[in-house]
Amino acid sequence: MAWYWQLLIVLGVLIAALTIAAGLIWYERRLLSLVQDRYGPNRVGPAGLLQVLADTVKIIFKEDWVPPFADRRVFVVAPSLVLITALLSFMVVPVAEGWVVIDLDIGLLFILAMSSLAVYSVVLAGWSSRSKYSLVGGLRAAAQMVSYEVFMGLSLIGVVALAGSFDLGDIVEAQEGLWYVVPQFVGFVVFLVAGLAETRRIPFDLTEAESELVAGYHTEYSGMKFGLFLVGEYVAITLFSALIATLFFGGWLGPWLPGVVWFLIKTFIFITLFILIRGTFPRPRYDQLMALGWKAMLPLSLLNLLITGAIVVARAG
């Protein structure tokens, strides 16, 4: 592949991910307003489309304040980690056939590794703030994200076993005759729940929990550093939606339309699902969240792995 085509793909993926993340700020507020029977953004620009621009300008000109009691270096670096890890994960996600920044044989393992590194962002943010509310939020984040990474990884082993590869492109091509959501429906459900926990979205936003912790790990943040957390969250939502489309719903595969269009349609559907879940489900207690993981998600993941392994061995033998 020519270097200029590779550069074009890199820029396209980067710009698309950040543009979609910015657009989601508006889309989520509009969709939630419909769910809750209210107006939502409707004053700045047509249908409130320029509200995101207005909010961005406001954040940029906010005072870049660091609490005097905080660990300044860690406090400043922490917000960027969640955005960097999510953007790096997009390098191995195939948007269409041949449209991928780096075609890694271990692409799925790379994404799981980046997801693990994202934990450091919220943990270090909570610790470096040296605020009791932030520290509790950071500790909750550490336990929640590390726990649900276990179930997320186990839910994907069935997909890897059926495709015989960790390469996301190979996984998509292996779904030519049948999307993996059919034989791996349990894995899909577990991965979706784990994705909600990893992105710290309602109903699993126990790391923020405004009614308990003010704002959790980012209580002391303001200005662009707070904006990085916000954008990083929406980039992570886009990433997990793209992964669900790739791993369980055939990625770019589909009739008539170009592959990239099918990929974007499927990703957009799951982004919408993430938002609708936020507007529908209440927040559980923290002990209920952890119990759901270890008492329900773990057994389901292991059962799915056992059945899938038996089927793969039976076919091979």
pLDDT one-digit tens code per residue, 101-125: 788 888 888 888 888 887 788 888 8
Which residues does residue 96 pair with via DSSP β-bridges, in sequence order?
99
User: What range defines the domain where residue 111 resides?
Assistant: 65-316
Query: How much is the pLDDT for 277?
Result: 87
Is 36 domain-assigned? no
Is the CB of residue 202 less than 8 Å from the CB of residue 281? yes
**68-84: average pLDDT:** 81
Is 153 domain-assigned? yes
Residue 162 in tokens: 């059926």
Q: Which of 62, 59, 34, 60 is nearest to 48 (CA)?
A: 34
Q: What is the DSSP letter of 96?
A: B
Is 33 domain-assigned? no
Query: How much is the pLDDT for 176?
Result: 86
98: left (phi over 0), alpha (psi -120 to 50) or beta: left
One-letter identity of residue 146: V
**Pairwise pLDDT comparison (222 vs 115), residue with the higher score:** 115
Residue 91 has pLDDT above 80, yes or no: yes
- Average pLDDT in the chain: 82
Distance of alpha carbon 43 from alpha carbon 64, whole angstroms: 28
Query: How much is the pLDDT for 244?
Result: 92
Q: What percent of the chain has pLDDT over 90?
A: 5
Query: How much is the pLDDT for 212?
Result: 58
**Residue 204 backbone phi and psi in degrees, to 5:** -105, 40
Question: What is the tens place of the pLDDT at every residue in 115-170?
Answer: 888 778 888 887 787 777 787 777 787 778 778 888 888 888 888 888 888 888 88
One-letter identity of residue 246: T
Q: Where are the beta strands (DSSP E) in the chain?
A: none
Is 26 domain-assigned? no
Residue 279 has pLDDT above 60, yes or no: yes
User: pTM surpassing 0.85?
Assistant: yes
Query: How much is the pLDDT for 213?
Result: 62
Q: What is the DSSP letter of 102?
A: -
Is 83 domain-assigned? yes
Number of structural domains the chain divides into: 1
Is 23 domain-assigned? no
CA 146 to chain centre: 15
Q: What is the DSSP letter of 284?
A: P
Is 51 domain-assigned? no
Residue 1 has pLDDT above 60, yes or no: no
